[in-house]
Amino acid sequence: MWVITVLSVVCLLVSPSLAGIKDISSHFADPKPDPRGFEPDGAVDIQALPLEFHKENTVTNDLVFDGFEDEDYIDFDKIIAAGSDDYIEGDAIDEIATPAPDIDIFAEPSDPKIRRARLLQLFQGRSRLERLNIINARFGFNLYRSLRNHVNQSDNILVAPAGISIAMGMMSLGAGLGTHDQIYKVLGFADFVNTSHHYDNTTVHKLFRKLTHRLFRRNFGYTLRSVNDVYVKKDISVKDGFRAETKAYYFAEPQSVDFRDPAFLDKANRRIQKLTKGLIREPLKSVDPNMVLMLLNYLYFKGTWEQKFPKEMTHYRNFRVNEKTSVRVPMMTNKGNYLAAADHELECDILQLPYRGNISMLIALPRKITGMRTLEQDISPTVVNKWLKNMTNRTREVVLPRFKLEQNYDLIGNLKEMGLTNLFQDSGDFSAMTSEKVAMNWLKHQGTITVNEEGTEAAALTQVGFMPLSSQIRFTVDHPFLFLIYEHRTDCLVFMGRVVNPSQS
């Protein structure tokens, strides 16, 4: 079972003024006590819990909050039935510019014309929603590389590109012209808008609304949720347009709170714990009392393998962390029909492990234990597209480590490095949100993922230097690897990361 939870937090500072935001009292609803006596605010160490606790659905099944489905889950089927959304529009395949025939799209990408030609080729034949997700994935890979450059080579990484893009899309609704343009440029939304004369800035938000419909509806065989919260300091005036648009596009309504009140932290953490079913227990350690606005995005996933790994076939084996170090970890084993391929240019093998429903995990395993750097540097939506289009279905044995990751990042430095600077300076313009002078000083991203015998997930152009696997019967993941979790109906990269040492979280 794969259970993944990610929380993104965006915070702004300001001085107080006037307000008229929905009161917070109706927003927080304490979960009912768990019948097993596992209280939400209890001092329980998740790491210390025995393996049996995680056995069936990892933490998820053991933290039962009555009424969760009815109370907190948006009924998108009802919304669509009411005719309040242009739902089909996201499936349109619009005309886009054709790359000039004399441009070599395989040349070095330093030339903006070549980069644009590559993007346009990737967009051909794709729906609006798929195009937006290509942009989101490209941003996700760039952010991953920035994170990779600031952690140790032995560190595991976990990031949720979809959740960060959703949070930043929501943030852009409140940005003035200059700051808005910078957000769109760094996130790639500007490239998306410029590919078709049918698009404008609003198209991005409409498609994020549509993506929410597509990804987070019920009964797909897996559980995937995104929840957005907006908290506003008491007596701060938030513009009606921002309030209406966050609700219309991101299902988030500004709530009036007192950031100085210690009870806010307790209530916010209990709500986060409830919505993530206990996987993120206390993300908000403290809050600056001068904060004016906090945007939260929670992304929660639980999936079950199409072909579960028999528990009796899990045995401790060596996993090579590097050329000198190995660790003994539980290695799961299964036999079945799995899609796999080989990328000879990047010198890696790729395995697709499907979940129930239209979602899966791609594992990219460098052939050399030192090959991770090249793979991380060159991975892109084009590369993944190529992988998926060149897979063959073979009967093979899969050996995969059981692991759990918990990662917490402050993304301000990474986004500044990528060119998003206005957001975090006094010169930042949030005039579409409030008339107050504000600056963002906090952007947190926290995630937890558990992979065991019950479940996992994952996620494609040309065939240059690429061919299907022909002779490999066993796919043994016994050294550092990348993993990607893709939802295939929308081509959405939901999660990605690397496992260098599965014995460490």
At residue 264, the pLDDT reads 85
The residue assigned the tokens 């078709």 is: 196
Q: Are residues 121 and 192 in the same domain?
A: yes
Is 46 part of any domain? no
Q: What CATH number is given to the structural domain containing 357?
A: 2.30.39.10
Please tell me the distance from the alpha carbon of residue 414 to that of residue 420, in angstroms, as a whole number. 9
Q: Are residues 253 and 397 in the same domain?
A: no
The residue assigned the tokens 């998740």 is: 46
Per residue in 409-468, pLDDT (tens digit) is 888 888 889 998 888 777 778 889 888 877 777 777 777 777 766 643 222 222 222 233
At residue 231, the pLDDT reads 84
Query: With helix as H, strand as E and coil as C, how does 418-475 read?
Result: CCCCHHHCCCCCCCCCCCCCCEEEEEEEEEEEEEECCECCECCCCCCCEECCCCCCEE
Enter the tokens of residue 149: 């450059």
Q: Are residues 139 and 107 in the same domain?
A: yes
On whether the CB atoms of residues 196 and 93 are closer than 8 A, the answer is no
Among 330-339, 360-369, 375-384, 442-451, the minimum mean pLDDT is found in 442-451
Please tell me the distance from the alpha carbon of residue 98 to that of residue 96, in angstroms, as a whole number. 6
Q: Are residues 474 and 385 in the same domain?
A: yes
Is 320 part of any domain? yes
Is 11 part of any domain? yes
Among 102-106, 155-159, 204-208, 381-385, the minimum mean pLDDT is found in 102-106
Domain interval for residue 371: 311-403+456-499
DSSP state at residue 275:
H
Q: Are residues 254 and 317 in the same domain?
A: no
On whether the CB atoms of residues 345 and 464 are closer than 8 A, the answer is yes
Q: Are residues 369 and 281 in the same domain?
A: no
Is 41 part of any domain? no
Per-residue b or e along 150-187, where b marks 16 or more CB atoms closer than 10 Å to that residue's CB:
eeeeeebbbbbbbbbbbbbbbbbbbbeeebbbbbbebb
Amino acid of residue 157: I
The number of folded domains in the chain is 2
Q: What CATH number is given to the structural domain containing 431?
A: 3.30.497.10
Q: Is 58 helix (H, G, I), strand (E, B) or coil?
A: coil
On whether the CB atoms of residues 189 and 183 are closer than 8 A, the answer is yes
Is 485 part of any domain? yes
Q: Are residues 249 and 382 in the same domain?
A: no
Per residue in 452-486, pLDDT (tens digit) is 666 432 222 222 222 333 344 778 989 999 999 99
User: Span 369-388, mean pLDDT?
Assistant: 92
Q: Are residues 199 and 57 in the same domain?
A: yes
DSSP 126-193: --HHHHHHHHHHHHHHHHHHHHHTTS-TT--EEE-HHHHHHHHHHHHTT--HHHHHHHHHHHTHHHHH
At residue 420, the pLDDT reads 87
User: Span 173-183, mean pLDDT?
Assistant: 91
Q: Are residues 423 and 468 in the same domain?
A: no
Is 274 part of any domain? yes
What is the pTM (predicted TM-score) of this model? 0.81
Q: Are residues 266 and 386 in the same domain?
A: no
Q: Are residues 235 and 357 in the same domain?
A: no
Is 77 part of any domain? yes
Q: Are residues 236 and 210 in the same domain?
A: yes
Per residue in 67-99, pLDDT (tens digit) is 334 344 455 555 555 544 445 667 778 888 777
